[in-house]
Structure formats: structure tokens, C-alpha cells
Amino acid sequence: MASRFHLMELPTKVLIGDGVISKLGEFIEDSAGPGKVVVASGSNVQTRVSKAVESALGDRVEWVEVTAADMENVERVAGKTAGSACIVGIGGGKSVDVGKLAAFRRRLPFYSVPTSASHDGISSPFASLKGLDRPYSIMAKPPLGILADIDVIASAPKRLLAAGCGDLVSKLTAVKDWQLASRVTGEYYGSYSASLALMSADVVLKGSRRIGEFGKDAVRDLVEALISTGVAAGIAGSSRPCSGSEHLFSHYLDMIAPESGLHGEKCGLGTIMMAKLHRIDWRKVRAALRSVGAPVSAGEVGLADSQVVESLVKASSIRPDRYTILSRRRLTKRAAADLASSTGVI
């Protein structure tokens, strides 16, 4: 029987606009106080934004380099927090996820400052790390605040922005999987959070040509849509509106081909195929991804055909508790190969 209650945790405030990284100090101090600020960031991002961050925070900042999204880096960031007011994750997925989990473990406020728009972890309560006992995201807490500087994000490599579009379109099949699970298993289904996730996917599906130009207005729409999907997960109390069979496909590829493709790229490929299994317009998904410059075939991200087939066959084993279209269909190798080839993924 579906649970009759769940906890919603949402970001408290979001500041988005051109040049807003200069307001980071007051943005943090308003809720975390004036103490030391531990900043988790990769070296390249630190080089890009250190002048602006140090101007905003003064001598309060302590940089901690994040080299990988793993527990070693989480512990290193957490180990620098004595006497700190908060943790700030500045960068892409790994810095935000590492900072998020370190803050969760130290019970400190966490602030997300994305420098690219490659996935919805910038606002969600989930952290995706390597080296855990499971290959999918774990629950932490959403950021207390999100500061998104469009000038900074718009200057990110276009590949990262296109990957964010892949993560957004994946909500189309994630919601379909959630609806299916509700019908088959009685799992709770939240129509409002599902609608919010689908609205974010539509930003790419209905406006891919404009989004794919990645002008500043388009980047702002992309960032706001990614923030909204993270909020949808917070409202749902789970990752259901944002993560379904297409994410299981991506997570399995993370295990067998960890160096091939970005998260959003692999989710986009999965969405094309899962859309066909759900009997929805997979060609529209493929066309939207192509229009924004995201990959639509395995070869474009260095994946072998056999890896795609294996992931389709075995992805559902990652989370037996999460019912999706792959749970229902139980693809054989031949059926998986037919699906991937018929959609142009292989």
C-alpha cells in the first residue's frame, strides 16, 4: 500500500541573474551567519571564479579542491569544517554533490553555486557519488540556497549545457515510469510534482531550437528548469519525478563504462529508447536532443553497442525496488539490440 505521508524539503531561496556571484557574501550571511565558509570546488572552476568569490567573501573563504565525486573527497571537505558557518559547492556535478553530502554529514547549511547547467543536482536533495554500496543517488538534503550566475553558466562548455538538456528530457520517461509503478504496485504518485517535472522537460522538447543556441535567455530558462526538477523531487519526497528507467540505464553504464559520456548525455540516450518502450514519441525526443547538440547515438559518447545492450538488459537489477518499464518488459539481448538499433542509438 502506498504511504499516506512523506516529507518535503525544499531550497529556501534562489538568486539567479547576471553577475550575481558578487552577492555571494550577503546571500550566505543572511541565513548562515558571518563565520568561515568552506568552498568545495574543482581547480579549473576555482581559477575561473576565485577572484569574484574572494571579493564577495573576503578572508572568510577556505577553498577545498574536489578531485572526484567520491567519499574520500566528502570526508576531506567535511574535515575542514571546524568552526565553519556553512559549505558552498561551486562548480558542476561533482563539487555540488560532494559539498552537499559533506554538509549533510556535518549538519551545516549548504549552498549550491553552479558554474554549468549539466544536471538537476544543483537543487535536488540527492547526491550522486562513486564508491558507495549502490550506483545511484543517495538522499541528503536540498541546498539551503542556490545562487546561479547566468554570466558564469553561459560561458561553460556547450557540451555541458547540452547534457543538461538530456537530463531535462529524461523527466518525460521518469514520470511515465512513476505512473506505471503506481498502477502496478500501488506506489504513491504525486501529480503535482510530476507535472512540474514534465513542464521542465517541455522547455527542451518544445523549444529545442532556441535553447540550443545557448544565448543568455535560453541558458536562464535551462537553469530555472533544472532547479524546478530538483524542487519536484523535494515535493515528491523521492527522485521519482526525475529518475526512472533512463537513469537506471545511465547508472548501469556508469559501472561498465565509467569514462564514456556525461550523466545527462547517457540519460538522453536512455530516454530515446524508453520513450519507444512507453509508446510515446521517441522521434521527438531524439530530434530535440539533436537540435541542442546532445548525442543521440552510443558512438558519439564512446559507448560500444554491446555496452548499450547489456545496460538495457541488466539496468533494472540496480534497483529491484523501483518498478519501471524495464521491470515490465524484461528485455532479452535480442530485444534490447532491436530497440537500440530501431531508435538509432546503436
The CA distance from 102 to 40, in Å, is: 10
Average pLDDT, rounded, for the chain = 92
pLDDT digits (tens, 9 = 90+) for 237-280: 889 999 999 999 999 999 999 889 999 999 999 999 999 999 99
Q: Does some domain include residue 215?
A: yes
Residue 7 maps to a domain: no
The residue assigned the cell 504525486 is 190
Same domain (yes/no): 192, 139:
no
pLDDT in tens, 118-147: 888 888 888 887 766 565 677 788 899 999
**Residues facing residue 39 across a β-bridge:** 63, 88
Could you say which residues of the chain have pLDDT below 70? 1-4, 131-136
| 200 and 146 co-located in one domain | no
The predicted pLDDT at position 19 comes to 94
Same domain, 166 and 306: yes
Query: Is position 291 within any domain?
Result: yes
* Residue 197 identity: A
Residues 176 and 100 grouped into a single domain:
no
Q: How far is CA 213 from CA 141, 158, 163, 204, 280, in A?
A: 33, 9, 14, 12, 26
Distance (Å, rounded) from C-alpha 60 to C-alpha 188?
44
CB half-sphere exposure, 204, CA atoms < 13 A: 37
Instruction: State pTM to two decimals.
Output: 0.92
Spatial separation of the C-alpha atoms in residues 202 and 106, rounded to whole Å: 37
Same domain, 323 and 223: yes
Instruction: Give CA 128 to chain center in angstroms.
Output: 9
The answer on 199 and 115 residing in a single domain is no
Q: Which amino acid is at 253?
A: L
* Whether residues 270 and 137 fall in one domain: no
Phi, psi of 137 (to 5 degrees): -65, 150
Cβ contact 169:119 at 8 Å:
no
Cα pseudo-dihedral 213, 215, 220, 225, rounded to 10: 0
Query: CA–CA separation, 315 vs 298, rounded Å?
Result: 16
Residue 196 inside a domain? The answer is yes
**Within a domain: 241:** yes
Task: Choose the final residue of a domain: 154, 174, 193.
Answer: 154
The residue assigned the cell 568552506 is 38
* First vs last C-alpha separation in the chain: 40
Which residues constitute the domain of residue 19? 13-154
- Residue 133 exposed, middle or buried by CB count within 10 Å (0-12, 13-18, 19+): exposed
Q: Into how many domains does the chain fold?
A: 2
Q: Is residue 214 part of a domain?
A: yes
Give the model's pLDDT for residue 302: 96
Q: Are both 146 and 182 inside the same structural domain?
A: no
CA dihedral 20, 26, 29, 35 (to 10 degrees): 90
- Residue 107: predicted pLDDT: 94
Residue 5 in any domain: the answer is: no
In this structure, the answer to whether residues 49 and 90 fall within a common structural domain is yes
pLDDT at 132: 65
Task: Report how far residue 7's alpha carbon sits from residue 9's, in angstroms, rounded to the nearest whole number.
Answer: 7
C-alpha separations of 258 from 90, 120, 135, 253, 254 in Å:
23, 20, 11, 7, 4
> Which pLDDT belongs to residue 3?
58
Round to whole Å and give the CA distance between 181 and 187.
6
Convert 67-99 to b/e letters by CB count within 10 Å (16 or more is b): eebbbebbebbbebbeebbbbbbbbbbbbbbbb
Among 93, 121, 154, identify where a domain stops: 154
Determine the 3-state secondary structure of 89 from DSSP: strand
Check which CATH number belongs to the domain holding 316 and give it. Answer: 1.20.1090.10
Q: What is the pLDDT of residue 309?
A: 98
pLDDT of residue 2: 55
Position 231 in a domain:
yes
Q: Where is 114: in which H helix or E strand? A: strand 110-114
Task: Specify whether 127 is located in the same domain as 217.
Answer: no
DSSP one-letter code for 94 = H
Determine the 3-state secondary structure of 129 from DSSP: coil
Q: Are residues 248 and 278 in the same domain?
A: yes
CATH number for the domain harbouring residue 33: 3.40.50.1970
Where does a domain end: 134, 154, 174? 154
Do residues 241 and 265 both lie within one domain? yes
